[in-house]
Amino acid sequence: MSKPKYSIIPKPQKYTVNDGTYTVTQDTAVLCIPEFIKAGKYLSGFLKTKTDANNGSIKFNKDASLKSEAYKLKITTEGITVSASDENGAFYGAVTLKIMLMQAKSSNGVAVLNCCDIYDYPKYAYRGGMMDEARHFFGVDAVKKTLDNMALLKLNKFHWHLCDDQGYRIESEEFPLLNEISSKRKYELLGGAEILSKISGIQKGGDEYFHYYKKDEIREIVDYAKSLCIDIIPEIDLPGHTVAILAAYPELSCLKGEYEVFCENGITKDILCAGQEETYEFVEKLLTEVCELFPYKYFHMGGDEASKGHKIWEKECPVCQQKMKELGIETGKDLQAYFNNRVNEMLKKLGKKSIEWNDGIGENTDSDITGHYWILRTPAWIKKENDKRKFIVS
């Protein structure tokens, strides 16, 4: 009778079951070179054993012939070896072995694994998950649990949405009102989206909602993600979805009105003033502060659902109208491209590469800004043969 394969998601490229078994216990040591220490710690933490640099029955070897992020996992009656050319590949081999151990026949701290040969590598370079904490704050433990689950699926990018109309969730020493005002809203439970309310039975209301991450908590989460070979991409949504920011700093708006952190789902017309220099000075200082917390090279500037605000720029804001006249442009879409390009230059100076939601990208947006699809609708101009823009899809 043939031995069943273990269930592994994603499905490995090659998986062959062989005769025999190998027994793993809490005394099974793990041997790994310093370059693969993440993989060794990840596996030994699960086994509750030690990472041994001198001997062991589970061995991590370097094989320069393997492609980036690929690994080979071999289980024989004599032991277990994981081979990889880089840190990520070794880590994914450790993840696969952990998943197999979770499914293996076990009792009293002893697990019996079927012998096999596995060769695997990810099909896509970007394998991401997203968490929106502007609308609902989860906290450090929940984020770590999410990262743990992402690691089991070999996902490598965590898109962290930390600013929107409904709240700003990052400690700011540069702009303290972003916490005193922007991190707080009147109600926990948001209104709007009536269909979702009917399905869930949840209605707007609840107590005051006041949450944000301290900088040390963010650093803790970033380090934790790094231990799981996951890069964090923060998102500060600009120039729309900024009601929470405008509640604290209304002088950054076109209409200079009074704003409250939004307690509804949906889209508002409120937007940063793209015509005044004070807006760009604020954004640059804010990005400088935030980028220091996140070492990964990509930064998400949002940019989505700003079209309602374009009407304010075009028809109600004399400062934006004057800026458009100076630039020789006529539409809010083109003014957003100007805004995006200036923010992109700020991020470049900070050593970052920009990502933006696809509906915020216009024909005059810098081509080195990566587009991020949240709706699968491609503008005709993007289909031009000479457009070299990169896109990712969620």
CA atoms within 13 A on the CB side of 1: 2
Selecting among 164, 235, 304, 359, the annotated active-site residue is 164
Give yes or no: 241 in active site: yes
Chain center to CA of 269: 26
Selecting among 120, 270, 305, 356, the annotated active-site residue is 305
Give yes or no: 165 in active site: no
Selecting among 161, 241, 310, 372, the annotated active-site residue is 241
Give yes or no: 305 in active site: yes
Indicate which residues carry an active-site annotation: 164, 241, 305
